[in-house]
Structure 1
């Protein structure tokens, strides 16, 4: 029986074990002093109070042993209990420092919910995090990257996880089950095709752990967009196509590139949503709907009809049943 109790005791985490040991010694010495000098230490609590103050070497002097035996016990307590309390406080400090170091190294799991998970540290993800913090300052972000040695952001809203995102345990450390959305950026240390294959592998892993979470992925080659959809990506962003378009407009020399820059600046200030058209809008011109949305400080960009996207619909076109409107609204900073 005692062996089992002793074995269980040593299986307890060291800080809790030290705490229980300190409490045991303080109660033991306090109770002993109460029975040795009941006139000075009237209650057991008085004895425990004296033991804590003496063992920590604070020494208020409000309770002082009057007998020789009591003073001998006091010396034993100072030699033994003082060292034990000091060791306990040092262990707490060492544990706090280790936790901070592990946090910076990305070894601490994330336990909160409703957060965004961004995979990959690069200029794109860096700028994305900056924009999220600027526009939605209270949004929590978990950054997952295997190559970094320490947290590159150092923000209370960004939690760094170091690990291989193709492994389940890395996603579990990022608390994928409670996350709101996932953004997987392309790892450009690979060739374009290899980067896309790696992105698709990460998408499969994330989708296997969470069946419904929106997953946004960056794909570099057009050929792999279909495979990314098959892997479970909710939205696919082909950055090379956007970059090529910008290059084309710049090379044509008609200042379309400047317009593209302004559009990108506009997009950064907007939040977008897709809403099903109200029943009382059916048959109405898009011009009427546009005027109505403007009163709500919203901008109609396009419509999704029969799984096709129609941007900037004609003002005389009519709203049809099952139409979904693509709407932009300026991000509120309230």
Structure 2
């Protein structure tokens, strides 16, 4: 299925590229120039046919005339057909010089139209025709990380940036992410016209960042809410993931129709990327990290009868209570004063040990301790005496 999905999106990407190129050529009046080239070639061929058909066996019908005109106009020059009358040669000369000029204009128009299109896209002025892309609206320090995470989670379609960054800054972003297909639309993402230019109606998802570039940081949440309303007015079915700075604005964003809300933090980039590419994953994370949704992560003691047994036995034991272990935390005890100063050591060691014991500080001295965490341990992992389990359990349930 992933291969089929990539083939489908590759086909859509090529079709989108062809469509946008044809639109650029149409706006450049290329069809009119092409019609002029073709009609001149046909008229020239028919005129030569009328002149040569009674004097030249090479021109017997319209097919011969059109074939000769095509070969002459394209300067292929097979030499299988050529006029032998004076007027036929005069018309041929006129046709060659006329078509040379027209064909030059034709090719120049194609080059100019495609070059103009590329320049507009680089400046963020082009119309996006991509389908199945992800639009990232706004910009802040999390955006670079977000683009990288989108690539890591397997997003292969276009990423369309919608913001007010300079052309040079956007080019730097593109260079930092060579594996991502990045397009750019310059403008205010809270305006519907800008979003239509980014073709958000055909996007897979729209990610709206807390924009600290497009204006006052205190109004970033306001722009996020306006941007969500604009996206939903274009297509209510498109997935919208938004970043908020203040939790007080969450009700307003929900009323705007947002699908997922991420608050600013260390894992903002990962959560936004996951929300866009794997809908529902952030809800699972939120469910585990908050105490008001039922399931929580807890660190619990491991029953003594399971010490020395395998992790699979621990899993089966906890599942009988609707509890799921997901990690093992190992506490290395380290070396205490008791370990360093033994009873059969020197008189000085005995003296030091007695002084620590009198001060009540013996249990506080440890060397080389530490915590090791193993997420999703293998089934044959052997439980150690100092191990504790991290489990998913219901908040109201007692510790296993």
Please, what TM-score do these two structures have when normalized by structure 2?
Answer: 0.57
Q: 2:84 aligns with which of 56, 61, 66?
A: 66
Q: Which residue of 2 aligns with 1:25?
A: 40
Q: 1:215 aligns with which of 240, 243, 248?
A: 240
Structure 1 pair 202/27, CA: closer, same or farther in 2 (3 Å)?
same
Q: Which residue of 1 aligns with 2:322?
A: 286
Give the alignment of 1:20-99 within 5 angstroms.
20-38=35-53, 39-99=57-117
1:133 and 1:139 in contact (8 A); partners too: no
User: Structure 2 unaligned runs (5+)?
Assistant: 1-25, 285-318, 328-375, 379-389
1:166 correspondence with 2:187? no
CA distance in 1, matches of 2:377, 2:59: 80
2:326 and 2:391 in contact (8 A); partners too: no
Q: Encode CA deviations 1:136-158: one digit per residue, 9 max, x unaligned.
A: 14233222123333753276732
> Residue 323 of structure 2 aligns to a residue in which SS?
helix
| Aligned-pair CA distance for 1:183 | 0.9
1:192 and 1:220 in contact (8 A); partners too: no
1:206 correspondence with 2:234? no
1:180 correspondence with 2:204? yes
Structure 1 pair 90/218, CA: closer, same or farther in 2 (3 Å)?
same
1:200 and 1:228 in contact (8 A); partners too: yes
RMSD: 3.7
> Residue 118 of structure 2 aligns to a residue in which SS?
helix
> Residue 205 of structure 1 aligns to a residue in which SS?
helix
Give the alignment of 1:304-315 within 5 angstroms.
none
Q: Which residue of 1 aligns with 2:250?
A: 225
Q: Which residue of 1 aligns with 2:358?
A: none
The total of aligned residue pairs comes to: 267
CA distance in 1, matches of 2:162, 2:109: 30
Higher relative contact order structure (alpha carbons within 8 Å, sequence separation ≥ 6): 2
2:136 and 2:159 in contact (8 A); partners too: yes
> Residue 167 of structure 2 aligns to a residue in which SS?
coil
2:206 and 2:240 in contact (8 A); partners too: yes
| Aligned-pair CA distance for 1:12 | 8.5
> Residue 236 of structure 1 aligns to a residue in which SS?
strand
Please, what TM-score do these two structures have when normalized by structure 1?
Answer: 0.67
CA distance in 2, matches of 1:79, 1:301: 83
CA distance in 2, matches of 1:231, 1:45: 65
CA distance in 1, matches of 2:151, 2:106: 40
CA distance in 1, matches of 2:324, 2:190: 49
Structure 1 pair 12/196, CA: closer, same or farther in 2 (3 Å)?
closer
> Residue 286 of structure 1 aligns to a residue in which SS?
coil
CA distance in 1, matches of 2:35, 2:86: 29
| Aligned-pair CA distance for 1:216 | 1.6
| Aligned-pair CA distance for 1:288 | 5.8
1:234 correspondence with 2:259? yes
1:157 correspondence with 2:157? no
| Aligned-pair CA distance for 1:21 | 0.7
